[in-house]
């Protein structure tokens, strides 16, 4: 673990638990001479947790904390996050109320649903709001959002439709939360989501959220999904930890264990608890301790993957390339042989693999369009602007790509996600 990761995790522990943070003790504990605050700040931003740790950072002695320029920028971003959070909460409450008045059952998901478990709820960053409705209510729910001034920006995903509004938080309207192969008993999962719902306040409105048992399971499924396709970072772990700490006394852990087996995520649930125990010193429920993973190399690999992932798992081009290679291999393929094979896998995935993705779903009906899909994919790769051509070329010819892909594939197999 890099030095900036160690400091960031110590700061998060203090922010989430109220534990004190003493910079001198931290440096001594990790045998470090100084803190590179610029690196810590940028790492925290990449994981979407910089605002969470700001209340701890601002209390540090000036000579031991970030420079004035960094601290001022940090302060502005924390204030902006707090203001945005309040506005987003009010607007989301209006949407939930409008759904209720239209007779549409809806469940508020993820960040907006659990943010009050945080010591400072307004500092939990949020990119969008996720709301689940029944399949038969998707059309009416979409009409409600359109009448409220939202517009559809993406309807290609099989699980949700994305809406954007002017000066308001984007909304993902879900008909499904998962249709992935690694989830067992998908129908049972989507049925049980709607059981034992809870109610929270959003401004002057009310919203339904998942039971706390299902919150834990859904967070694991959400993290697992991101791990397979991109990756996930520390913010998702923070969500898991604050819900666990706030609600562990009311959660039926034996029931969670049973359902995790039914959904096929038991090993992943165990691994997440072990990582949270390592990072944030939580006590793992007795029924969820499982086999001792403390010295397991795959748990170390899991930790490394999380720290490298950032919020959405696309922290760098290397990771994007590795994920592309893994996605385009067979279900349990371990033979990432050479860069020629890697190049072929990246450029020319099979129809079965490519048709699973929203932008190429037309291949399910028109398989003869596979060459067109390959051309579309290559064009996108060349035109994407988040990485320059030189970086793309270096990654494409990277001799270590095969080894990295093999290691990540083994991690997914260990977690029973392939």
Segments of the chain scoring below 50 in pLDDT: 314, 331-336, 387, 394
State the Cα–Cα distance between residues 171 and 128, nearest whole angstrom.
Answer: 6
State the Cα–Cα distance between residues 256 and 285, nearest whole angstrom.
Answer: 11
Among residues 129, 165, 161, the alpha carbon closest in space to that of 146 is found at 165
- Using a CB cutoff of 8 Å and minimum separation of 24, what contacts does 349-354 make? 349/377, 353/327, 353/328
How confident is the model at residue 332, as a pLDDT?
A: 47
Concatenate the DSSP letters of all residues of 368-402 into one string.
GGHHHHHHHHHHHHHH-SSS-HHHHHHHHT-TTHH
218 in Cβ contact with 177 (< 8 Å) = yes
Using CA atoms in the order 131, 132, 134, 136, what is the torsion angle rounded to 10 degrees? 40
Residue with tokens 């909460």: 89
Complete domains list, the chain, with CATH: 3-66 (no CATH), 103-299 (3.30.460.40), 317-414 (no CATH)
Among residues 248, 251, 135, the alpha carbon closest in space to that of 194 is found at 135
State the Cα–Cα distance between residues 411 and 181, nearest whole angstrom.
Answer: 17
How confident is the model at residue 336, as a pLDDT?
A: 47
- Pair of tokens at residue 137: 């209510």
State the Cα–Cα distance between residues 372 and 380, nearest whole angstrom.
Answer: 12
40-97, pLDDT tens digit by residue? 999 999 999 999 999 999 999 888 889 899 999 999 999 999 999 999 999 999 999 9
Strands, sheet with 151-154, edge to edge from the N-terminal-most edge strand: 151-154, 160-164, 171-174, 129-133, 106-109, 205-209, 198-202
Among residues 49, 11, 4, the alpha carbon closest in space to that of 280 is found at 11
C-beta atoms surrounding 150 within 10 Å = 20
How confident is the model at residue 18, as a pLDDT?
A: 84
């Amino acid at each position: 673990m890099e030095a900036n990761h160690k400091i960031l995790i110590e700061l998060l522990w203090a922010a989430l638990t109220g534990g004190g943070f003493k910079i001198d003790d931290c440096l001594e504990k990790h045998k470090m001479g100084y803190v590179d605050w610029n690196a810590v700040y940028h790492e925290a931003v990449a994981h979407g947790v910089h605002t969470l740790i700001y209340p701890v950072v601002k209390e540090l002695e000036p000579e031991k904390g970030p420079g004035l320029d960094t601290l001022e920028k940090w302060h502005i971003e924390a204030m902006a996050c707090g203001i945005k959070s309040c506005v987003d909460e009010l607007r989301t409450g209006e949407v939930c109320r409008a759904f209720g008045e239209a007779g549409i059952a809806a469940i508020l998901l993820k960040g907006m649903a659990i943010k009050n478990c945080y010591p400072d709820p307004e500092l939990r960053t949020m990119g969008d709001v996720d709301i689940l409705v029944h399949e038969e209510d998707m059309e009416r729910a979409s009409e409600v959002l359109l009448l409220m001034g939202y517009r559809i920006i993406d309807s290609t995903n099989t699980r949700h439709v994305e809406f954007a509004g002017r000066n308001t938080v984007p909304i993902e309207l879900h008909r499904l939360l998962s249709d992935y192969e690694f989830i067992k008993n998908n129908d049972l999962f989507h049925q049980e989501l709607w059981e034992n719902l809870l109610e929270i306040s959003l401004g002057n409105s009310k919203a339904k959220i998942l039971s706390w048992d299902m919150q834990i399971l859904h967070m694991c499924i959400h993290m697992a999904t991101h791990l397979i396709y991109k990756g996930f970072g520390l913010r998702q772990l923070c969500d898991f930890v604050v819900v666990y700490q706030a609600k562990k006394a009311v959660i039926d852990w034996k029931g969670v264990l049973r359902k995790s087996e039914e959904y096929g995520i038991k090993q992943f649930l165990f691994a997440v608890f072990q990582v949270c125990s390592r990072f944030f010193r939580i006590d793992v429920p007795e029924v969820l301790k499982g086999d001792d993973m403390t010295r397991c190399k795959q748990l170390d690999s899991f930790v490394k993957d999380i720290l490298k992932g950032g919020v959405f798992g696309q922290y760098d081009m290397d990771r994007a390339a590795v994920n592309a290679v893994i996605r385009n291999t067979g279900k349990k393929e371990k033979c990432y042989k050479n860069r020629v094979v890697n190049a072929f896998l990246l450029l020319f995935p099979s129809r079965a693999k490519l048709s699973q993705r929203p932008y190429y779903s037309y291949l399910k009906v028109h398989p003869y369009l596979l060459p067109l899909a390959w051309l579309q994919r290559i064009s996108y790769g060349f035109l994407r602007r988040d990485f320059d051509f030189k970086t793309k070329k270096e990654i494409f010819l990277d001799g270590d790509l095969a080894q990295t892909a093999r290691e990540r594939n083994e991690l997914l197999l260990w977690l029973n996600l392939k």
